[in-house]
Structure 1
Amino acid sequence: MNRIKQILKGESIENLLDETILRIFGEGLIMSSDSEILSLIKLYYPNLFASRENKLLHYQALFYKTLPEPSTVKEQIFKIYQDVIFENFHHGYTPIQVDIANGISNNQIFSFSAPTSTGKSFVIMNLIKECDSDVVVIVPSRALINEYYARLCELIPEKSVNILTFIEHINTAHANKNVFIVTPERCREIFKFSNIFKVGLFLFDEAQLSNEDNQRGMFFDSIVRRCNVKFPKAKLIFAQPFVCNPESQIARNKLTERQSSSKNYRQQNVGQLYLAYNDSKFYHFGIDKAVMGNRKEECSFDPIMRCIESGGSILFYVSKSKILSRGFHDEFNEYISKCEKISDENALILIEKIQKYTGGKTTKNQNYYSLFIDLLSYGIVVHHGSMPLEARLLVEEFTRKGFCKICFATSTLEQGINMPFDIVFIDRLESSDPLGVKNLIGRAERSSVDPNFDYGSIVIRTSAMSRFRQLMTTPITLKSTSMLDVEHIDDIDLNEIKQELNEGTYDDSFNLPQSKLEILSDDESNQIIRQLLDYLFVNQKFISSNTITNGDRWSKLVSLFDSFYAHYVKRELSQGERGVLHTAIRILVWRVEAKTFKNMCQLRYQYVSRAKERALYKRRNVENRLEAKFTARYQEIPNKNCHSLPLVDRGILARDVDYDTIIYDTYDYLDKFIGFKLSDILYAAFYKYFLQNGDDRALTAANYIKYGTNDNQEIWLLKYGVMFEDMTILKPHITSINQNELIVNQTFYQLPEDKRRAVERFVN
């Protein structure tokens, strides 16, 4: 059987369409081949498809769409079903959404799996809104945190509900409920408040993170177990896509003592087409060779070019190295060149916000030129894990509002971020990651509320067809045994972490295990901290960026940090580790002075590109061949095998330093090392030194390390979620701020709406 050839030749199309729709009436859209057949017929025979589309939508039971009145008895059956659901749930749920809602309602622990288009997010959002106690949402990435935050703020406008992307006990005079949206690493801060917060629901979204054989996977499981113990009355809900055994979450963490259940849903709400690409030609192919045919069939047009010309959007999934090296620009220039400059005022406002946040410019051959921002003005987006979070959020808003024509992205889009495209082009197929691939192709069209059958297209290299088919048909199962229960792990560091997590020796107030805290407050650490304070403060003031450019003071300072960190990890540091640590310390000092991300990046760019020296040469009208200064590229440490890698290749001229590279690498340092690891270590060391010795400089240093400021009002603003970018404008309009409330004066209401937004939820 070769349904693709049959459809392309136009043989018995009407019968094929009716057979497929009838099968969906009885079974639902669970077969990949049915999804492909429907999508192909809609593409090539739109008028015929339109004559059956209403019937198909009823049979799919997509009750969130504006469905037409039923015209047959079978359609009327689904209309009755829809009315009953709305009467009982007051939402336009599909039968699958009803089953998910019932599973959550009837169990203390419920783990389920569903395709990306099922609409689980809609059920989850309503569940959070309707919960009358505190809620904790655990997601794997910062990008998902902010997507949840934006949607929940819109769904829950009541100011009596704190919606926070961190765990803090604030706004207590006015809030009677808290919704926390955090990563697993920051979720453990909830246990500091186990006697204060009344958590009724823990939601673990994208819960397949538990399957990772690394520190994050162990942290995830340890959080699940502690939530179960510390909050025994709370519901624990696990949501994940495409997993065959969602019950593994219950078994691996020994949650069977409470009322629990699990379910794997297979129904899809959208269709998908599969195409292969080779030598500028495109071919249709199918996943199930027995139904769709085992050979590819030539497509008579370029679907990517047609999509661009018709105002659609394309996602190119490429490697991060291809983005950073700008290789994507040359390889896909045929399509990039078709994108005309954007004139829409709303799009230009978003681009301007990104410019203000990053400091990037769009004038070529000038300081701070950013190709990333320049491309945005043509509707071309880049998206990857090293993009600053605030810029990433603006880019995602830019895309959702329809301004993106082409997006070049890495695996950051795998984890449920709501950025749908008409076509997903997989330039880089991760054969070892079936779940990642399935999540990624879920970006190819999302179900809309319009009364249409929605579908998207996936394009791969012809050479990857066999591997792709295998990935798509490989059952995805999660391990039933946690790394926490594995008797021995070869990695010494992971084995130590496992032991500490199992023994429960983590100190929640410092986010560190007791064994590490003992090191940070022993005699050797205290001696190093005492010397560090003498170098970090000049005339009782924290050192300035001028002090850390170079020179003897800087050399002695980083040497002391080397000794401190080596003592912490209990071994000598490699040259690569020292380079990363030195760069991180420099960025920490810049952060204190610069405050905003833009200023931080521009200070680092000026240093690496030797901007002052080049300006001096220019004033003297002298040509310069100055080479860029060394700065270490971000790498994860501790790692004794870490080699010294320059961010800018040796021999690159200072004037040719790429500002985008500075932006991405600086964010990596702030997010992955300073924010996630180093600041916890240094804060604990300086704060404990302050408690032991009463040296106020240590407390000041601890605050600078943790918050970037020692100003009490600014620290409270940070706790209320305000970024430094907004503080300068907001501070004059705030009368008082503390744990109980945030009070503004009348001038606050004269600020533009976008400036008030940062704290408006807390203003009563």
Structure 2
Amino acid sequence: MNNLIKKIIEGEEIEQIMEYVVSDIYKNGPDSITNMEVLCYLSIYQPDQFIKWQNRILKYMGLYYKKTNTECLPEVIFGMYSKHIKETYNHTYTPVQANIVDGIEDNNCFSFSAPTSTGKSYVFRNIIYSSNHDVVIVVPSRALINEYYYTLCKFIEDKSVNILTFVDKINVKKAKRNVFIVTPERCKELFKKKDEFVVDIFLFDEAQLSNEKSSRGLFFDSIIRRAQKAYPDSKFVFAHPFVENPDAQIVKNHFNTNNSSAKCYKFRNVGQMFYALDGGKYYHFGINKDIMGNQKHLCCYDPVEETIKKQGSILVYTTKASIYNKKVFSQFSRYIKMCPEIIDKDAKKYIKQIKKYIGANDDSGAERYSQMIHMMKHGIVIHHGSLPLQARLLLEQFTQAGYCRICFATSTLEQGINMPFDIVFLNTFETSKPLSLKNLIGRAGRSSLDKKFDYGSIVVKKNNMSQLRDIINEGEVLETVSMLEQDLELEQDLQEYKEAILDGTLSDEYNITEKQLDKLRTFNADNTIKNILDNIYKNGILVSLNTINEDKQCQLELYEQFIRLYEHYLGRDLCAGEKNVLNTAIKILLWQIHCKSFKDICFYRYSYASKKQERDQLQKVIDDGTEFEKYLAKLKLEHLDAAFVTGYADIPDKQLPVFSMFGNKETRAIAVDYDRIVFDTYDYLDKIIGFKLSDIYIAAFSEYYKRTNDDRAEKMVQLIRYGTENEKEIWMLRYGFTFEDIEWLEPYIVRINQEEVIFNREINKLPIEKMNVINRFI
């Protein structure tokens, strides 16, 4: 069998090709990417022949959930196997899914890899549902938290099960057990309350994160070690896509091999075919050249255009830089213009919610104009790691509801989010990240319940064809030695963290090392903390933002003391670049402490960056001045540079230079991108304040309170942790409600505490979208 793309397109040897492929699937299962490619071409170019075999193909692939008919003797055998699985597991599992269930039930640690479309989430949902005690699901991203949360809320209607995206002991009067869906960073909270939970199982989804040579990779492994120590009787499950050696998790984390097992599954539920873009034209090509053919073949249609016309969806994988500088939108302008404005009322609700959340305007040229919102009105979605969590959730729901035509995304979509697309267009090609590319390719193709063969398509540029073949054919191997045990050059704080994990001196209460904690207990640190409290409280009352801003000396001293406290923790002085980033983070933290919403913070930063006050004054002259004054004012407005604004950067980093988010006089004030402000603000809140600073400052003020009984320090802990001192608001936040929720929800709550939340009868008048927020607690 050779040159099959050409033969199928031209209608040659179709019967022999079909019989060969179907026979191989019957014997070996759908484990060959080439067989799946062939089926894609047959379904497109020879649909009349393909439809005769389709039922048998679906049977032989083990897709029992499609409820196909039995039409011949071999299909009877597969029908009997399907019936056996249903009787044994009480679910319509595929053979692979049934085998995963066995692996989990028979071992204390089970690690496996499988293609994206295997349906592991369905297996996990059933395991979670049938567990007797608490379950912890660890995922690499906040986006995947959302995915699990909303899926499990629909699947598990039993309100005696808390489904939480954070670790806390709440709703104890009604809830008998908990399902915690957390990132490694949020999972650390589990160890503060380890004696309050009985964890049946830890599910580590997208566990290839442990292979990252980064602080996150180190953190991921540390969570596994801490979980093993805190919950020695729990089961551990690791799931990966496209990994050849899933047993690496067993080896690197020193699980007992006598009750551990690993398996690599190759079976696929959907087919995939490949296109190369060359000179504006699309060509077919195959992964296995010996079988599919050496030459690419001109495609008689534009797959992207056809998909848009059929109301399908395209994922364009690109860089964050190309989204920020808008170049990718110019590249795909022809396809963007094919997407009409959405008129569907439900779709508009998603757009309105995001617009309100980030405080944006979708009218071009208006203040706080958001290109992201404007494009969304046409079914164009932007997705990357700096999207605010709430906005990301709404964008994903918008996409899953079928309103997205084109999604411009970075590698955030590689991490298992259930957003399948008809086409994955690899506009950027990172050969250094083969597993990431495989994961993204796995987004192509939707596994449906329809009685048809499902497939997706991948598009690459012509010069990436060989690289793609190499990556798909190359097996991905995880390291078998944890970062915790590798000799790596790390920043001092990470090195101390690594050593503390290994020698057991990490504080479960504060999630920092005992060495770091000791630095925050010194006499000098105490003086710094006292100075902060003296500046931020007057007569025991939190001073207003206006008071801080009006007294520049107080403001400068307050910022300097917060910086100094971080330097105590770090054990060194910060460089100028680090200081600028931390200074901005402290400003945002103070806004948060003073109950400013996300959109408020974005507005403050945008107004400063775009010199709004100065622009407003110039505009007043343009509106009311003499002709000459108008001329000068217009000239000044056109050439007014954006203010110097330090953008997000990871700290600590001794090499970090002083930099402005908008460059050095490269951006005019009127051209400041509001979306960039939104994304950057979220990075500060999430990656610096949420992930790093809060632990440090909470530890410092908590320890100071223990030594001095200064009530102001205890209040500061509450403010940093929750953004409020109000007890009712704190409980609402602990139940998972946001500050945006609190604004409308607070009057409806009669009582809220650790035991339960009681609502008044007026909640029955709330609209459905607000009822959905509180439904699990009613």
TM-score band w.r.t. shorter chain: over 0.9
Query: Does 2:119 correspond to 1:104?
Result: no
Q: 1:257 Cα shift?
A: 5.4
In structure 1, the partner of 2:627 is none
Task: Show the counterpart of 1:547.
Answer: 548
Q: Indicate the SS of the match to 1:509.
A: coil
2:770 and 2:514 mapped to 1: Cα distance?
42
1:328 aligns with 2:343: no
Q: Which residue of 1 aligns with 2:745?
A: 730
Tell me the amino acid that sits aligned with residue 404 of structure 2: C
Return the alpha-carbon distance in structure 1 between the equivalents of residues 490 and 740 of structure 2.
45
Contact between 1:308 and 1:405, CA under 8 Å: does it hold in 2? yes
Partner of 2:682: 667
Provide the C-alpha distance between the structure 2 equivalents of 1:602 and 1:749, rounded to a whole number of angstroms: 34
Aligned with 1:747: secondary structure?
Answer: helix
Q: Which amino acid aligns with 2:223?
A: I
Shift of 1:555: 2.2
Per-residue deviation, 1:733: 1.2
1:561 corresponds to: 562
Tell me, in whole angstroms, the C-alpha distance in 2 between the residues paired with 1:453 and 1:375: 32
| Secondary structure of 1:77 counterpart | helix
- Which moved further from structure 2: 118-127 or 491-500? 491-500
The whole-number CA distance in structure 1 between the counterparts of 2:99 and 2:496 is 42
**SS class of match (1:117):** helix
Alpha-carbon shift at residue 212 of structure 1 (Å): 1.7
User: Which deviations, in whole Å up to 9, do the C-alpha atoms of 1:342-362 show, x marking residues without a partner?
Assistant: 001110011111111111111
Alignment of 1:12-27 (within 5 A): 12-27=13-28
CA contact (8 A) 1:422 1:444 kept: yes
1:762 shift after superposition = 1.9
In structure 2, the residue matched to 1:720 is 735
Question: Contact 1:590–1:603 (CA<8 Å) still a contact in 2?
Answer: no
Counterpart among 641, 644, 647 of residue 627 in structure 1? 641
Stretch moving more, 748-757 or 132-141: 748-757
1:476-487 superposed matches below 5 A: 476-487=476-487
Match of 2:339 in 1: 339
Distance in 1 between the 2:387 and 2:550 partners? 26
Distance 1:397 1:317 in 2: 19
Corresponding residue number in structure 1 for 2:306: 306
More moved, 43-52 vs 447-456: 43-52
When structure 1 is superposed on structure 2, of 146-155 and 534-543 the one drifting more is: 534-543
Q: Partner letter of residue 587 of structure 2? A: R
Cα 1:383–1:545, aligned 2, differ >3 Å: closer, same or farther? Answer: farther
Q: Secondary structure at the match of 1:459?
A: strand
* Unaligned stretches of 5+ residues in structure 2: 624-629
TM-score computed with the length of structure 1 as normaliser: 0.97
Q: CA deviation at 1:743?
A: 1.4
Deviation string for 1:472-511 (max 9, x for gaps)?
1111111111122235646554432221110111112212
Deviations 1:443-477 (A, max 9, x none): 10121111110000000011111111111111111
Contact 1:686–1:699 (Cα < 8 Å) also in 2: yes
Cα 1:728–1:490 shift into 2, 3 Å:
closer
The residue that corresponds to 1:642 in the other structure is 656
Give 3-state SS (helix, strand or coil) of 1:321's partner.
Answer: helix
TM-aligned CA distance change 1:231 to 1:170, over 3 Å: same
Deviation, structure 1 residue 45: 1.5
Amino acid at match of 1:440: L
1:655 partnered with 2:650: no
Aligned to 2:381: 381
Q: Please say if residues 548 and 586 of structure 1, whose CA atoms lie closer than 8 Å, have aligned partners that are also in contact.
A: no
Asked if the contact 1:112/1:264 (under 8 Å) is kept, the reply is yes
Q: 2: distance between equivalents of 1:720 and 1:420?
A: 31
Judged with a 3 Å threshold, the aligned counterparts in structure 2 of structure 1 residues 482 and 21 are, in CA distance, closer, same or farther, namely same
> Secondary structure of 2:656's partner?
coil
Find the counterpart in structure 2 of residue 500 from structure 1.
500
What's the CA shift for 1:210?
1.4
Among 736, 739, 744, the alignment partner of 2:759 is 744
Provide structure 1 residue ranges, at least 5 long, that are not aligned to the other structure.
none
Question: SS where residue 580 of structure 2 aligns?
Answer: helix
Contact kept in structure 2, 1:721 and 1:758, CA below 8 Å? no
Higher alpha-carbon deviation: 40-49 or 724-733: 40-49
AA matched with 2:703: K
Given the superposition, is the C-alpha separation of residues 475 and 103 from structure 1 closer, same or farther in structure 2, using an over 3 Å criterion?
A: same
Q: Deviations over 1:166-190 (max 9, x none)?
A: 0001111111111011111221322
- Give the alignment's Cα RMSD to 1 decimal: 1.6
Q: Deviations over 1:404-454 (max 9, x none)?
A: 011100000001101111111001111011111110011101211111100
1:522 aligns with 2:522: yes
Within the alignment, does 1:759 sit opposite 2:760 as a pair? Answer: no
Contact 1:109 1:258 in 2 (8 A): no
Higher deviation after alignment, 347-356 or 701-710? 701-710
Structure-2 separation of matches of 1:149 and 1:359: 26
Single out whichever of 2-11 and 753-762 deviates more from structure 2: 753-762
1:195 partner SS: helix
Asked whether 1:700 is paired with 2:715, we answer yes
1:225 maps to 2:225: yes
Contact 2:491–2:652 (CA under 8 A) maintained in structure 1? no
Aligned pair 1:352/2:366, yes or no? no
* Amino acid in the other structure paired with 2:681: T
Matched residues in 2 for 1:267 and 1:257: separation?
Answer: 26
Which position in structure 1 is the counterpart of 2:581? Answer: 580
Alpha-carbon distance in structure 2 between the residues aligned to 1:311 and 1:446: 14
CA 1:490–1:607 in 2, change beyond 3 Å: closer, same or farther? closer
Question: TM-score w.r.t. structure 2 length?
Answer: 0.95
| Residues matched between the structures, number | 762
Q: Is the 8 A contact 1:54 1:451 kept in 2?
A: yes
> Are 2:456 and 1:433 equivalent residues in the alignment?
no
Aligned equivalents of 1:535 and 1:544: distance in 2? 12
Contact 2:205 2:238 in 1 (8 A): yes
Return the offset for 1:513. Answer: 1.1
Letter of the structure 1 residue corresponding to residue 453 of structure 2 = F
The alpha carbon displacement at 1:229 in A equals 2.8
Counterpart in 1 of 2:48? 47
Query: Which residue of structure 1 lines up, in the alignment, with residue 268 of structure 2?
Result: 268
CA distance in 2, matches of 1:200, 1:337: 51
Residue 480 of structure 1 aligns to a residue whose secondary structure is coil
Worse-matched range after superposition: 222-231 or 419-428: 222-231
Measure the CA separation in 1 of the matches of 2:266 and 2:233.
31
Cα deviation, residue 264, structure 1:
0.7
Per-residue CA distance 1:72-124 (angstroms, 9 max, x = gap): 00011111111111111111101111111111111111111110011111101
Would you say the 8 A contact 1:166–1:181 is kept in 2?
Answer: yes
CA contact (8 A) 1:167 1:189 kept: yes
Aligned to 2:79: 79
Question: Contact 1:277/1:460 (CA < 8 Å) preserved in 2?
Answer: yes
> Relative to 1, partners in 2 of residues 1:108 and 1:253: Cα closer, same or farther, differing over 3 Å?
same
Change (3 A) 1:281 1:292: same
Q: What's 1:453 paired with?
A: 453
How far the C-alpha of 1:731 sits from its partner, in A, is 0.7
**Which one is further off, 511-520 or 454-463?**
511-520
**Cα–Cα, structure 1 residues 270 and 262, in superposed 2: closer, same or farther, change >3 Å?**
same
Contact 1:108 1:234 in 2 (8 A): yes
Structure-2 separation of matches of 1:648 and 1:417 = 31
Give 3-state SS (helix, strand or coil) of 2:38's partner.
helix
Relative distance call for 1:377 and 1:490 in structure 2 (3 A) is closer
Give the CA deviation at 1:594.
Answer: 4.7
Structure 1 SS opposite 2:116: coil
- CA spacing shift, 1:346–1:550, aligned 2, 3 Å: farther
Aligned positions of 1:140-179 closer than 5 A: 140-179=140-179
Match of 1:294 in 2: 294
SS in 2 for 1:757: helix
Report sequence identity in percent.
Answer: 45
